[in-house]
Structure 1
Amino acid sequence: MTIGTEYLKIVRERFRKVKGLGDKALQQLSGGDIHWTLNETSNSVAVIVKHLSGNMTSRWTDFLTSDGEKSDRNRDQEFINTVSSKQDMMSIWEKGWTTVLETLDALDEADLLKTVTVRGESHTVIDAIERQLAHYAYHVGQIVFAGKQLKDEAWETLSIPKGKSEEYLQQILKRHQD
């Protein structure tokens, strides 16, 4: 195994984990919940999903051969809530993630040091991958935060429950001993 193939394996897993975290958060939200905003300057979950998908589709379509900011993308429109239902939102979510994951799966080690452009600015493929991973994790964190605010005590935690860190650690250690 080379460092390039290991890196690709790791980032593919990381993107899938970020998507999985978002999937679990979105499952807990109702059709009405997805339109909630904390205040006038906040985005609803539906808008965050619409923006993420727009970014994903733009950045990852023809990833190695065209600028990541496609001419047909209207970023400002992504922040206007036109999502009609949770089902519509989930279709938008899956479209973006499918584009990302299929493109990542098609990359190989030789692609990592190639140059891609976003808004005319050059980046190595590694840099472009890292920027997008951070961007998507940031927005999925916003989705989780919104879900926690909406569901309060009914929220099913997506990580180690409060006050259960030691118990969780002991379970992990026991698994590794068996």
Structure 2
Amino acid sequence: MDASYLPSAIKQFEYYKLLGDKTFAQLNRDQFFWKQNKEDSSIAIIVKHISGNMRSRWTCFLTEDGEKEWRNRDDEFINSFTSQEEVIACWEMGWQCLFNALNTITKENSDTIVYIRNQGHSITEAINRQLCHYSYHVGQIVFLGKLSAGDDWKSLSVAKGNSKEYNAEKFSKEKSRKHFTDDL
């Protein structure tokens, strides 16, 4: 594993967590549980799924299969939360599990093959798999948050119509080598 990869991946995970956090800060209780129809997933349900996946994938990930026997994936799509505080606590628990696991990766164990449903992955492949999975679901959370907040939504990116100003500000600075999330 290239020495720059893991710190970069951790920053990417932190970025997607931040997008979720900033979405949650704009929502009320009803918006956490809103579904367009009965077959849809609410933000709360998506959080329950992401957290369940994180806890399964990253608990003892170097020595145990990432699909734990104790995980009940189907249950992740049934709401069991009663408050937005419970949703956020579940969200935090999943992310903490992920970050704790990533912090155990060393040069000595970076060549370990890890398994998800008996399929072997390099640690880099496992990280990439989960980074894509979580960013997909965080995008859903942001989109649902934006839909439910309506006109009260505050953009989490460059707001429409502000690209020229944003780029002018970026190009007014000297070139530098840093992660794009360092300015957030």
Q: What is the TM-score normalised by the length of structure 1?
A: 0.94
Aligned residue identity for 1:70: K
Matched pairs, number: 175
1:139 to 137, 140, 152: 137
Over 6 Å off, 4+ runs = none
2:2 — aligned with what? 4
1:95 — aligned with what? 93
- Secondary structure at 2:121 match in 1: strand
1:109 — aligned with what? 107
2:158 to 157, 160, 164: 160
1:150 — aligned with what? 148
The Cα offsets for residues 47-90 of structure 1, whole Å up to 9 and x where unpaired, read as 00000000000000001000001110000000000111000001
Q: Does 1:35 align with 2:27?
A: no
- Secondary structure at 1:122 match in 2: strand
1:64 — aligned with what? 62
**How far apart are the structure 2 equivalents of 1:78 and 1:61?**
17
The alpha carbon displacement at 1:4 in A equals: 2.1
> Once superposed, what is the RMSD of the aligned Cα atoms?
1.2
**How far apart are the structure 1 equivalents of 2:158 and 2:114?**
38
Kept in 2: contact 1:8–1:108 (CA 8 A): no
Kept in 2: contact 1:54–1:96 (CA 8 A): yes
**How far apart are the structure 2 equivalents of 1:33 and 1:176?**
42
Aligned residue identity for 1:147: G
Q: What is the TM-score normalised by the length of structure 2?
A: 0.91
Aligned residue identity for 1:34: F
Bigger drift between 30-39 and 62-71 goes to 30-39
Kept in 2: contact 1:8–1:109 (CA 8 A): no
The alpha carbon displacement at 1:112 in A equals: 3.1
The alpha carbon displacement at 1:109 in A equals: 3.2
Would you tell me which structure has more helix in proportion to its own residues? 1
The alpha carbon displacement at 1:173 in A equals: 1.4
Aligned residue identity for 1:89: V
The alpha carbon displacement at 1:166 in A equals: 0.7
**How far apart are the structure 2 equivalents of 1:109 and 1:39?**
48
Kept in 2: contact 1:46–1:89 (CA 8 A): yes
Kept in 2: contact 1:5–1:108 (CA 8 A): no
Unaligned runs of 5+ in 1: none
Unaligned runs of 5+ in 2: 176-184
